[in-house]
Amino acid sequence: MKTILFAKTSHKPIDKQLATNEILKVDDKFWHWDPYRGIRMLPLMTKNAVIGEAGTFNGRDGTFDWVSYTPSVIKDWFEQEIFPWMGSKTRIMALLTPPGIANNEHIDCTLDEVGSRQHKFRVVLQGRTGTLYFKTKEGDVTVPDIEESFIMDGGWPHGMLNDSEELKLTIAAGAPWTGHDSYNNVETLLFREDYILPTELSTYTKK
């Protein structure tokens, strides 16, 4: 059975405009710069509801909970639609990229985890999904433009160039959730087996 590189889901859609408006109202002091990905990040769900940059790490004891400023439209959508499907709560982040800016090409796991199941859940609230691309031995592979939320393989090197004239805002769910072996509500649009990983994977990891 082929495995997911990129797949769209069939969840009930979130109110993207409302969610975008509410996220962009959050005080700038809660955002931080992530030099690894080249992106501004806003923690929304963290261990023990820790705010700011300290909330981006999963290593502490405790349970995942919403931080104080997370908009209710995002809380409600995840609690009612996404967490029952995921089977657990996990770290949730907002990712913000200005117009004309590229995110660093990277992988969202360690080198020894490449090839294992490293699914990440995403929904683009504002901007184009199709600015995301995967690195392969044959060249870059751009994902399709879709409106739905999606699953991507975070263990495959990827990057993004926001070539639009508006901010790109994405909600991302990552570790410790790594996905499921199978899903009954996704349509796979790109398969891992159709591509070959690029060489020198260490260039896409943290230095």
pLDDT of residue 92: 97
Per-residue model confidence (pLDDT) at position 207: 60
Query: In the prediction, which pLDDT does 1 show?
Result: 63
The total of structural domains in the chain comes to 1
pLDDT of the residue at 75:
98
- Please list the rounded mean pLDDT of every run of 10 residues in the chain (207 residues): 92 97 96 92 93 76 92 98 96 96 92 93 97 96 97 96 94 93 94 94 83
Q: Dump pLDDT digits (tens) for 85-129.
A: 999 999 999 999 999 999 999 999 889 999 899 999 999 999 999
For position 72, which CATH number holds?
Answer: 2.60.120.10
What's the pLDDT at 119?
A: 97
* Containing structural domain, residue 69: 4-204
The pLDDT of residue 58: 67
Q: What pLDDT does 43 receive?
A: 96
Q: For the chain, what is the largest distance between any 2 Cα atoms, rounded to a whole number of angstroms?
A: 46
pLDDT of amino acid 59: 67
